[in-house]
Amino acid sequence: MIQEAYERWLNHPNLDPSYKDVLADMDETEKKDSFYTTIAFGTAGMRGLLGPGTNRINLHTIRKANVGFAQYICEHGEDAKKRGIAIGYDNRHMSKEFAMDSAKVLATFGIQSYVFDSLRPTPELSFAVRHFNCFGGIMITASHNPKEYNGYKLYDEKGCQLVPVLAQQVIDKVNAIEDELAICANPSEEQSKLITIIGAEVDEVYYENVLSIQLNPDVDKTAVKIVFSPEHGTANVPVKEIYDRLGYQYTAVEEQCTPDPDFSMTPTPNPEEKGAYELALKYAQKENADIILVCDPDADRMGVGVAHNGEYVLLTGNQSGSILIEYILSQLQAKGMMPKHPVMFNTVVTSDLGEKIAAKYGVETEKTLTGFKFIGEKVAKYEVNNEKQYVFGYEESYGSLIKPFVRDKDAPQACLMLAEAACFYKAQGKTLVDVLNGLYDEFGAYEESQTSLTLAGAEGAAKIQKILSDLRTSQLSNIADAEVIRFEDYKECRVVENGAESELCGFTKSDVLKYYLNDGSWIAIRPSGTEPKCKFYYCIKGTTIQDAKAKTKVYQDAIAKLIQ
């Protein structure tokens, strides 16, 4: 089967010439990994290694996805085709080519498209869908993955990534396509007129909306020095533009401001990893900066470093999210701006601390599965019935949304609000770490962390499935010395608590396990939707942060032994 698929590609007359030599030079291991399966949609769309093969991101697999999406659009009638699709892309290898090719495929189906003239952030693509009243959107990006990756995200008419029930309709159509190599992207001259290039006019409206999130516009912006890095990606222009217009004092890490698809000047473009801050830290020390802000390549995630007691403390997404919650909700309350039925959204693998802060301000928290599309889905629901009013949404993976004129994580919004918060608290003699420590004093110390087990290829995928299956059936009663007091299985939709089993409601089925422990901690486990990894999430509560850190190490060791 693998050899047959390989030879079909190698000898197909429509194979893009750029892939011919790569295929010819493949060894057996490379053939197997490139052809053992068909690349699939996960929690963040379709994402994978660049290169030829059915299990790779390339012109042919992108075209196959676009035909399936086009068929889905056509099923919704002429109005959907006229409303069209907004298309954005980041700085990665082949991103622009994939974006333009997508527009051409859609045009052959009579579908209008609006394609950005150059790289733009993912949140601006989400905004453009809403701005043009499009039927949906496409974003070409691999988010925070290494340079070898690219990807393809689909959006609905609300600017939200397709939720599973809609994505499945596209996937079914994509999977029914037998020969991705037979698909061409050759619209006629008349069909090509359906492709519209967009640019500055969308930028300006997006910027105006971002500027509208300010809560204390008169805060002293000269008090805080910011070091900012877009990690070679799409945050470079919008964040600088916003800071320049408002007068924030920042220094950009110029070596990381070029849209370099090889990410030459950073060890990693992922703000969840320390390597993303290496050069920014050198800048910060030289400039005596108060905060460091680092965005991932498609500008939906933001990482934070804070000068505190003579060193720079790198915050997790849970920690920066908690600080933003405290700042935003406290200011909404103080200014009499809190809506009547406020609601905050986070996920089942996000820290408990944010929920406790929200409760202090009378804000309800609703949890979703991992993936910001589920938060976007909730926003759309309450936008219609107005039963609750959105005040904040975030994930532990360094992404948040301040105002929902965008329906995805929005790093430019987060960079603005975090800078404002830093200025506000500095006027009180506090760093953002002081604010976080105050929250620990108030609600208890939380150490949130994530580990992962990378297992590539067919064997790796099978191993990950076995780990989840074994844990699912083992009915753990203890982890280390802690008692498991509640177990949630999001795939089988069940809860086990005090020896009794009940139904877990309100979530789409997903391969996630979560263990609640008798010390107020929890551990969650799930396979990554976009990478060959099994992920382990820890929210560990302690009497002090040192106690929480020590307990975290114990729990991580216990889990490592369980999955050996």
* Residue predicted with more confidence, 40 or 421: 421
* DSSP H or E stretch at residue 209: helix 200-211
Separation CA 18–CA 120 (nearest Å)? 26
Q: pTM of the prediction?
A: 0.95
Instruction: Tell whether the model's pLDDT for residue 192 goes beyond 80.
Output: yes
Instruction: Tell whether the model's pLDDT for residue 232 goes beyond 90.
Output: yes
| The dihedral sign for the CA sequence 435, 437, 442, 447 | positive
Domain with CATH 3.40.120.10 in the chain: 2-198, 215-443
pLDDT in tens, 479-516: 999 999 999 999 999 999 988 999 999 998 999 999 99
Rounded mean pLDDT of 385-413?
A: 97
Both tokens of 110, joined, read 């009579």
Rounded mean pLDDT of 159-165?
A: 93
34, 95, 113, 143: which is the annotated catalytic residue? 143
Confidence of residue 20 (pLDDT cuts 50, 70, 90): very high
pLDDT of the residue at 487: 96
Per-residue HEC secondary structure of 291-335 comes to EEEEECCCCCCEEEEEEECCEEEEECHHHHHHHHHHHHHHHHHHC
Separation CA 21–CA 372 (nearest Å)? 39
Separation CA 379–CA 381 (nearest Å)? 5
pLDDT of the residue at 458: 76
pLDDT of the residue at 42: 59
Quote the strand ranges of 204-359, DSSP E: 225-229, 249-252, 291-295, 302-308, 311-315, 342-347
Domain 445-562, classified CATH 3.30.310.50, yes or no? yes
Q: Is 51 left (phi over 0), alpha (psi -120 to 50) or beta?
A: left
Instruction: Tell whether the model's pLDDT for residue 246 goes beyond 60.
Output: yes
Second-level CATH architecture of 215-443 = 3-Layer(aba) Sandwich (3.40)
Separation CA 481–CA 474 (nearest Å)? 17
Instruction: Tell whether the model's pLDDT for residue 43 goes beyond 70.
Output: no
pLDDT of the residue at 44: 60
Rounded mean pLDDT of 208-227?
A: 98
Separation CA 93–CA 95 (nearest Å)? 6
Nearest of 397, 458, 352, 387 to residue 28 by alpha carbon: 458
Q: Taking a C-beta distance cutoff of 8 angstroms, is the pair 161, 179 a contact?
A: no
Both tokens of 319, joined, read 């920690």
DSSP 106-154: HHHTT--EEEESS---HHHHHHHHHHTT-SEEEEE--TTS-TTEEEEEE
pLDDT of the residue at 532: 82
Domain with CATH 3.30.310.50 in the chain: 445-562
pLDDT in tens, 437-487: 999 999 999 999 999 998 887 788 889 999 999 999 888 999 999 999 999
Second-level CATH architecture of 2-198 = 3-Layer(aba) Sandwich (3.40)
Q: What is the 8-class DSSP label of residue 18?
A: G
Separation CA 492–CA 510 (nearest Å)? 8
Confidence of residue 529 (pLDDT cuts 50, 70, 90): confident
Rounded mean pLDDT of 93-110?
A: 98
pLDDT of the residue at 459: 84
Q: Among 300-309, 417-426, 465-474, which stretch is predicted with the lowest mean pLDDT?
A: 465-474
364-368 and 342-347: which strand pairing?
parallel
| 113 belongs to the catalytic site | no
Q: Which amino acid is at 112?
A: Q
Q: Among 325-339, 383-397, 446-460, which stretch is predicted with the lowest mean pLDDT?
A: 446-460
Q: Taking a C-beta distance cutoff of 8 angstroms, is the pair 95, 88 a contact?
A: no
Separation CA 490–CA 43 (nearest Å)? 15
Percent of the chain clearing pLDDT 90 (strictly above): 92
